[in-house]
């Protein structure tokens, strides 16, 4: 992940924590540019990918629910670029936990997804950690 993108993402998340607990507040839009896409709206991973894996949940004391929405750019069958378009959570989260979850997602996408061809897809990941 690019350092400036991570800083912009974390700044947006810090602002979103001012909202009431129990809701899933929206983080500020990411400052990074969108992956290059073909014409039209991106499909889902299930549309293009023949193999998908779940990300591993890193060890954490944090308890809550967090949903990541992202766009992934595929070149030659492998995920090459990832852009987080939305992150919603029901309570505050420490930056190291957030980055650990994002690293797990990125590892699953880059190493475990097989998506023949070149395209862009949208994917959501929901973590419920008790």
**pLDDT at residue 41, rounded to an integer:** 81
Q: Encode burial over 12-44: b for 16+ CB neighbours within 10 A, e otherwise.
A: bbeebeeeeeeeebebeebebeebeeeeeebee
Ordered by start, the domain boundaries in the chain are: 3-32+40-129
pLDDT in tens, 88-117: 999 999 999 999 999 999 999 999 999 999
pTM above 0.75, yes or no: no
Long-range contacts for 9-18 (Cβ within 8 Å, ≥24 apart)? 9/84, 9/87, 10/95, 10/98, 13/87, 13/89, 13/93, 13/98, 16/89, 17/92
Find where tokens 């967090």 sit. Answer: 66
For residues 73 and 120, is the Cβ–Cβ distance under 8 A? yes
In three state form, how does the secondary structure of 53-108 look?
A: CCCCCCCCCCCEEEEEEEEEEEECCEEEEEEEEEEEECCCCCHHHHHHHHHHHHHH
**pLDDT at residue 18, rounded to an integer:** 36
Please state which architecture CATH assigns to domain 3-32+40-129.
2-Layer Sandwich (3.30)
Greater model confidence, 84 or 22: 84
């Amino acid at each position: 992940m690019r350092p400036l993108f991570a800083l912009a993402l974390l700044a947006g998340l810090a602002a979103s924590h001012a909202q009431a607990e129990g809701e899933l507040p929206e983080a500020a839009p990411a400052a990074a540019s969108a992956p290059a896409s073909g014409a039209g709206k991106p499909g889902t991973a299930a549309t293009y990918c023949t193999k998908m894996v779940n990300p591993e949940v890193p060890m954490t004391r944090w308890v809550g629910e967090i949903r990541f929405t992202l766009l992934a750019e595929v070149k030659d069958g492998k995920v090459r670029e990832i852009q987080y378009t939305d992150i919603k959570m029901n309570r505050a989260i420490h930056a190291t936990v957030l980055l650990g979850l994002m690293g797990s997602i990125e590892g699953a996408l880059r190493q475990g997804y097989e998506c023949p061809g070149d395209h862009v897809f949208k994917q959501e990941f929901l973590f419920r950690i008790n």
